[in-house]
Amino acid sequence: MARLQNKIVFITGASSGIGKASAIAFANEGADLIIAARRIDKLEELEIDLREKYKVDVLTIQLDVRKKMDVKKAVASLTGKWRDIDILLNIAGLARGMSKIHEGDTEHWDEMIDTNVKGLLYVSREIIPLMTERMEGHVINLGSIAGHEVYPNGNVYCASKFAVNAISKSMRVDLYDKNIRVTTIDPGMVDTEFSVIRFSGDKERAKSVYEGFIPLTAEDIAETILWCAMRPPHVNISRS
């Protein structure tokens, strides 16, 4: 049974990792998807796959969430049913570098804060008003365990996820009377491109992060996201 038929889900960071796994998990439940990310070739491949395997409608948008005007234009360009977004998955995010605070690369800091914090805010700012108009919606933000505890050399990445936690809490109180649910998903270590990107393509270093234990997979997290989204309307999973 397709339990999310006729639901519209907007996913950022949909080209890989947890975003892509979520697109697949939600399509498997019959949801129609707006998939957004920077890498259009990967999105187009995914779009074909989702249409063929799950027979859902898919709208693909090339989007860099850091670009405020592009986010505005992308959301303004939505027409018809695509404006009735039921669920927003704010997945786009990344880590860059791991250094002591006094040795960090400020370009890396900008990238993390611009994507994980400002990008999430820009997308939310454009999409939530479409939800408040309909007095219905669910925002699911990808936080992290790093948004609750810091670790050595994690400084700015952790700060960006602490910010996601604060933003999620704020959304929850600000949107309570608009019938909009807000959930934060806070994974620990997930084996995706995350560490390869963090270490600028150094695959050996990335692999070493997951040595000695079995890391979570993108699919594990997508299942959790889906579970939160499928609770009855009166149930808000604040943090998972």
CA distances from 177 to 1, 4, 212, 230 (A): 32, 24, 46, 20
Question: Per-residue contact track with ligand 8X3, 132 to 171, x per CB under 6 A?
Answer: ------------xxx-------------------------
If the CB atoms of residues 161 and 172 are measured against ligand 8X3, the closer one turns out to be 161
Contacts of 152 (CB under 8 A, 6+ apart): none
| Chain position whose Cβ is nearest to ligand 8X3 | 144
If the CB atoms of residues 34 and 146 are measured against ligand 8X3, the closer one turns out to be 146
Q: Are 167 and 88 in contact (CB under 8 A)?
A: no
**Scanning residues 45 to 84, which ones bind ligand 8X3 (CB under 6 A)?**
none
What is the per-residue DSSP string for 179-220?
TEEEEEE----B-STHHHHHTTT-HHHHHHHTTTS--B-HHH
Q: Are 136 and 175 in contact (CB under 8 A)?
A: no
If the CB atoms of residues 144 and 184 are measured against ligand 8X3, the closer one turns out to be 144
Q: 210: how many CB neighbours lie within 10 A of its CB?
A: 15
The reply to whether 157 belongs to the active site is yes
Number of residues that bind ligand 8X3 (CB under 6 A): 5
If the CB atoms of residues 128 and 185 are measured against ligand 8X3, the closer one turns out to be 185
**Scanning residues 188 to 207, which ones bind ligand 8X3 (CB under 6 A)?**
188-189
Q: Which of 54, 122, 157, 176 is catalytic?
A: 157
The half-sphere exposure of 191 on its side-chain side, counting CA atoms within 13 A, is 12
Binding site for ligand 8X3 (CB under 6 A): 144-146, 188-189
Residues annotated as catalytic (active site), given as ranges: 157
